[in-house]
Amino acid sequence: MKTREFKQVDVFGVSAYLGNPLAVVLDGSDLSDQEMQHFASWTHLSETTFLLPPSEAGAAAGADYRVRIFTPGAELPFAGHPTLGSCHAWLEAGGKPKAQEVIVQECAFGLVQIRRDAARLRFAAPALQRSPVEPNLLMEVAAALGVNAERIRAAQLLDNGPVWLTLLLDSRQTVLQLSPDHPALKNLGYKVGVAAIESAAPTTVLIARSNREARASSTRSVSSAVTPDLPAVEVRAFAASVGVNEDPVTGSLNASLAQWLIADGLAPAVYIAEQGHCLGRAGRVHIEQDELGQVWVGGESVTCVEGTVKL
């Protein structure tokens, strides 16, 4: 075993411990796939990443470093909060990007561009493939979620590395009231995202209570960082198929969701997604489509734990 630098980073929260935690091993060299997977299962976080030098092809294409991303149950080709959290940890540990304006992260899905400003990091949403959901599958997913079909406005299979079967529902309240049958979702074999868009952002954040009625209540108890005149999208992500019943804040889902909603005129080019309310979190994902049509997904990251780990 080798002593390796380690950080645990909170990503997409309005402050520390209100986002999605990420375990980052800053030197993943000489670790086997099995060792990485075993450690990711042990951390029991939604994702654990291992940083490595870029591959020869990645380096030639401008990659600054390479990341491997694991859930407790499987390796992912790409994921959003691990992209921002890993970049934050790499920069904090002294990483120097080749280019001044962009950091280039290599993952199994390819190269991902990351930009930084005074407030946050943001990544370029990878190319999206999407397709309709077969009616029979949609009905099975709706039954597993416990949502009536008439509350579903639209549905798509979204693929930007991870595949998300995503439903747009009629209201924020419907999203917050969901009480899914996680074993049924796992048996279907899909990660499932749900969302609803509101015409204006709320002024405060829901913090989960001990029962479903309280979780769905409009009473909110933490000051919001959302700009009042921006629309907000309420998001939840269920990923029992990879060992995570509900993910606190999900970058890959929000990236593909934004590309779908903006392309189909269902959301404006700039908005804020909120996620994690039913888990006691206050996730904020900043979405912006630039003049070239590229969707950027941004959020804050803060290191909460740092030290070493023996692997």
Q: What is the CATH number of the domain that holds 263?
A: 3.10.310.10
Please, how many CA atoms are within 13 Å of residue 53, restricted to the half-sphere of its CB? 7
Q: Are residues 281 and 216 in the same domain?
A: yes
Q: Say if 124 falls within a structural domain.
A: no
Residue 168 lies in a domain: yes
- 102 and 136 in one domain? no
The verdict on 107 and 144 lying in the same domain is: no
* Any domain includes 141: yes
The 3-class secondary structure across the chain, one letter per residue, is CCEEEEEEEEECECCCCCCEEEEEECCCCCCCHHHHHHHHHHHCCCCEEEEECCCHHHHHCCCCEEEEEECCCCEECCCHHHHHHHHHHHHHCCCCCCCCCCEEEEECCEEEEEEECCCCEEEECCCCEEECCCHHHHHHHHHHHCCCHHHEEEEEEEECCCEEEEEEECCHHHHHHCCCCHHHHHHHCCEEEEEEEECCCCCEECCCCCCHHHHCCCCCCEECCCCCCCCEEEEEEEEHHHCEEEECCCHHHHHHHHHHHHHCCCCCCEEEEEECHHHCCCEEEEEEECCCCCEEEEECEEEEEEEEEEC
Same domain, 255 and 143: yes
Tokens of 278: 């039913």
Same-domain pairing of 256 and 136: yes
223/194 same-domain check: yes
What was the pLDDT predicted at 158? 98
Residue-number span of the structural domain to which 270 is assigned: 129-293
Query: What per-residue confidence (pLDDT) applies to 229?
Result: 54
Distance CA 194, CA 205 (A): 18
Binned average pLDDT, 10 residues per bin, the chain of 311 residues: 97 96 98 98 96 98 98 94 98 96 96 91 97 98 97 97 97 97 97 88 35 34 43 92 94 98 95 96 96 97 98 97
Does 87 share its domain with 29? yes
Phi first, then psi, for residue 105 (nearest 5°) are -105, 130
How many beta carbons lie within 10 A of that of residue 202, not counting itself?
16
Are 105 and 147 within one domain?
Answer: no
The confidence score (pLDDT) of residue 230 equals 65
Residue type, 112: V
Please check whether residues 141 and 10 belong to one and the same domain: no
Query: Are 143 and 112 in the same domain?
Result: no
Q: Is residue 79 part of a domain?
A: yes
Looking at residue 218, its pLDDT comes to: 33
- Domain membership of residue 101 (yes or no) is yes
Spatial CB neighbours of 100, under 8 Å, sequence gap ≥ 6: none
Q: What is the pTM of this model?
A: 0.89
Is 209 among the domain residues? Answer: yes
Task: Establish if 305 belongs to a structural domain.
Answer: yes
Number of domains in the chain: 2
Question: Within this chain, do residues 102 and 198 fall inside the same structural domain, yes or no?
Answer: no
Residue 195 falls inside a structural domain:
yes
- Residue 17: predicted pLDDT: 97
Do 78 and 157 lie in a common domain? no
